[in-house]
Amino acid sequence: MRAKDVPFSEEVVPFDFESGNPAFRTFSPSMKVPVLRHGDLTVWDSLAIMEYVADLYPERGFWPEDFKARALARAISAEMHSGFTGLRGACPMNIRKPAGHLDVSDDVRADVARILNIWRQCIETSGGPFLFGDFTIADAMYAPVVSRLATYQLTSDPVADQYGTAMRGTEAWQEWEAAALKETWIVPVDEV
């Protein structure tokens, strides 16, 4: 929403417990975040939130305009949403952690290879700098991966560097990173 200049207000509830925060129960039926409240509607899934906002603001280009590119963007977003469990499990999202190489399993290496292949194909087709040329929901879905690849130094592939540089250059990324660095809570399980 920030990347597409959609106004919203944000309320941060700390992740100061290993499995979230009991306070999540007051606003999230799934006990997970993010959660969007819009009037009397609550949407508690990241991809569903982005789809809803894309419907509210169709002129903002949340998805590629071309219907085939849009289908591909949805497919890779759904793959990110439900997949790459090796990478997610071994390399928690942690912007504050200093970069350093992490030895990982074959499952994680396979996830990284698949992600790099997606990025390479999308950027070659679109011309970049983002997966479908302009920033879309697909890029928002892969933003945590950009961070993970850099934090754990999981690849030296030029496509990761190129795409990571484009993502980190956005105002939305810079605000996200600055806010993360101000967080004071630490969840030990995420300190790999």
Task: Enumerate domains of the chain plus CATH numbers.
Answer: 67-176 (1.20.1050.10)
pLDDT single digits (tens) 167-185: 999 999 999 999 989 988 7
pLDDT single digits (tens) 54-98: 999 999 999 999 999 999 999 999 999 999 999 999 999 899 899
3-state secondary structure of 186: coil
pTM higher than 0.85: yes
Residues 94 and 130 sit within 8 Å (Cβ to Cβ): no
| CA dist list (Å): 151 to 27, 38, 99, 111, 144 | 31, 34, 4, 16, 10
Q: Write the single-letter amino acid at 8.
A: F
| DSSP labels, 48-79 | HHHHHHHHH-GGG-SS-SSHHHHHHHHHHHHH
pLDDT of residue 65: 96
Closest CA to 167 of 109, 125, 123: 123
Compute the distance between CA of residue 113 and CA of residue 135 in angstroms, rounded to an integer: 22
